[in-house]
Amino acid sequence: MKIRTRVLIGVAAISCGIVGIVHATPIVGLIFGTILATGTTNEEIMQNVRVALPPVAGQEAEDRDDHDNEWRAKLYTSGPTGLYVQDVEYAPAAIPDGTRTREFW
């Protein structure tokens, strides 16, 4: 068997293995995922976003750190980019005895 044939068979076997793993991996806890909007841009994106969050009930102002009261995001791209806005909901995590441990996020 020629080396080229061996390489081709090896690449095909590895590709099939990767595809099998990807298709066999379940999405854990996803209830729904809906794409709301899509778009493309040919320009670079450089955005910083900060959203102030309301205080947590029962938490005193002096007990809070400034970074705990805000949500931040940075988005930087270079070259053409595809954008997707998706609405998703995850189920709460649970251990086998049925007790709730934490929420997925």
32-36, 47-51, 82-86, 100-104: least confidently modelled range:
100-104
Q: Are 83 and 38 in contact (CB under 8 A)?
A: yes
**In whole angstroms, what is the distance from residue 48 CA to residue 81 CA?**
17
Q: Give me 10's structure tokens.
A: 């090896």
47: part of which helix (H) or strand (E)? strand 46-52
Residue 4 predicted with pLDDT over 50 = yes
Helix (H) or strand (E) holding 3: helix 3-24
> Which pLDDT score, from 0 to 100, does residue 74 have?
92
pLDDT-based confidence at residue 12 (cuts at 50, 70, 90): confident
The Cα–Cα gap between 102 and 29 comes to: 12
For the chain, give every domain's residue range.
28-103
